[in-house]
Amino acid sequence: MGVITISRQIGSEGTFIAKRVAEQLGLSFVDKEDIEKVMYAYGFSAFDEVYNNKPSFWQRFDQHRMLTVDFLLTAMRAFAKVGDVVLLGRGGFGLFQGYTDILNIRLKAPLELRVQRKQKEYGTTEEAARKALLEQELVRTSFVQSDLQFNQNDASLFDLVIDTGIVPPETAALWIADAYQQLVKHPRLDAKRSRADLDVDGVLLKLVRTMLGSEEG
Q: What residue numbers bound the domain in which 170 lies? A: 3-204
Which of 3, 6, 1, 43 lies closest to 152, judged by CA? 6
- Domain contains 212: no
Q: Which amino acid is at 162?
A: I
- Domain contains 183: yes
For 28-45, what is each residue's pLDDT tens digit? Answer: 999 989 988 888 888 775
- Domain contains 101: yes
pLDDT at residue number 175: 98
- Domain contains 34: yes
Judge contact between 115 and 133, C-beta under 8 A. Answer: yes
CATH number for the domain harbouring residue 74? 3.40.50.300
How far apart are the C-alpha atoms of 129 and 87, rounded to whole Å? 26
Count of domains in the chain?
1
pTM: 0.87
- Domain contains 153: yes
- Domain contains 213: no
